[in-house]
Structure 1
Amino acid sequence: MTAKQIVRVIRSHASKDGDGVNIQRVHGFNDSTFSPFLMIDELKSENPDDYVGGFPPHPHRGIETLTYMLKGHFEHRDHMGNVGQLKSGGAQWMSAGKGVIHSEMPIVTEGGLHGFQIWINLPAEKKRLPAKYHDFQSPEINEYGSEQNLLRVISGTLKENDALREGPLQDTGVETIVADWRAAGGESRTLTIPAHYQTNLYVYKGEVKIGGDTVKAGHWVCLGDSDSVTLESVENAGVLILAGQPIDEPVVHYGPFVMNSMDEINQAIADYQNGVLTD
């Protein structure tokens, strides 16, 4: 095994989305080192004013979203009739396919919110399939290790010392691994990821060392080719591991739509305006 090394580090930036929700964002819609991922939003605040407006009904086409909540409670509703409760430690996956209209609204409780929404591209052949939705409550997320060195696997399968580490979400539009590693200072973990996957990390807490380089919270890390990654916690660390099969296709992004051409974007806008996006 050869260990992956850092190719690039990108700092997240402050942004707003939905009804004035404050977030930290990293995006790479036209960056091949992100593929198949497109964007990550981190919502972290103890002040309800930062998130109380939530994300009222809005459309998507051509992507999947994976939302993961460390702390707090959101309610999902969509045009298919799904109502999902996204609570602390849980996740929800949605494939927009040809079209979905959904909302994600906070159920305001004391203690604030901390969570992530990850956008994942779909290959052209799957951008017009029917929408799907599934949520996973915290007990369904597979955990490996102890509180001092814990790996939670949400999506896909990776290896550790030849043992499989699997998530409950397997049937996605493109092969992906999404996992959460939390560790006290001085702890480490070496994970094996398929060499043909593009691997990225998002450090959301503390500091972590990868291949001799230290990365602080709020940064996205692009890793180079090879089949393993070793993470070392400098101080109490939290890291999202995001790996997947790259999609070698054009990406055209406009608001909530991600397609392969501007004509397809214009069609998505027209379909939404005419009320036929989800037909």
Structure 2
Amino acid sequence: MMTTATGHAPITGVVDTPTRSRRIRGLQGVGWLGYASAAIIVLAALIAVFGPLLAPYPPNQSDLANAFVGASPAHPLGFDSQGRDLLSRLLVGARSSMLGALIVIVLAMTAGTVLAVLAAWRKGWLDSVISSGSDLVFAFPGLLLAVLAAAVFGPSQWSAALSLAVAFTPYVARIVRGAALRERSMPYIEALEVQGSSAWSICTRHIVPNIAPMLVAQATILFGWAALDLAAISFLGLGVQPPQADWGVMAAEGQTGVLQGFPAESMAAGTALVLVIVAFNVLGERLNDRQAKEHS
């Protein structure tokens, strides 16, 4: 099939769009660092799913006689200030830490993409209203929204995740809008309109699939930031509540051990968070760089 200089099929008869050639291509071209980051992410996801089954002891089983007891073959990470097995709490805590970030990303990416594509398609006053509204919400820090949500709905993982989703949505909308506007100006979009395709069909079957690689890259980067923000919110006591196992809660509860010379709890939770956050950011940046090279 012949193509034009822009990489799109010539507009003759039935329009052939560039959707297929620009689908998500997995991890091709991300380099060894990208593959290593993906391996860490897969491992973290598996722990989040199977953590409660892998935990050797109940995460909330307390024995004050073992408070701050160090590592041993039966307890590789030792115990916390309440005499709870740290390895079990670390494995179980992965689920709430990863699930909370996943909720934020799904909500923010969905809302931001819908608003951005709608603004790019309709343009005019609707684009101005959506852009102005996004700028207004963008001015409020996510942690401030989390504090407000905790004051209204009470501190919980859901209120923290919803507040962060609201805070992340304008960022997503701003980035996706630019990509959607570029796609909207492509010749094949005009050809589809001439042939009578509906706006819904064009947006869902062509525009969104063609910007999907960029959406995946941005979602990957934002996942790391969402995990960090949720951990910070839980650290402040506004997210996941003790005694539930969570990496942010563990970092907060580990302060007592740090002051007494037993930093194992904070170090375990902090190391897990750093590894996951760095892995998501590195992989997201690699995917972003690949997209930039393909469009240069």
Please identify which structure carries the higher helix content. 2
Larger gyration radius, structure 1 or structure 2: 2
Q: Which has the higher contact order (CA 8 A, sep 6+)?
A: 2
Same fold (TM over 0.5): no
Structure 1 length as normaliser, TM-score? 0.23
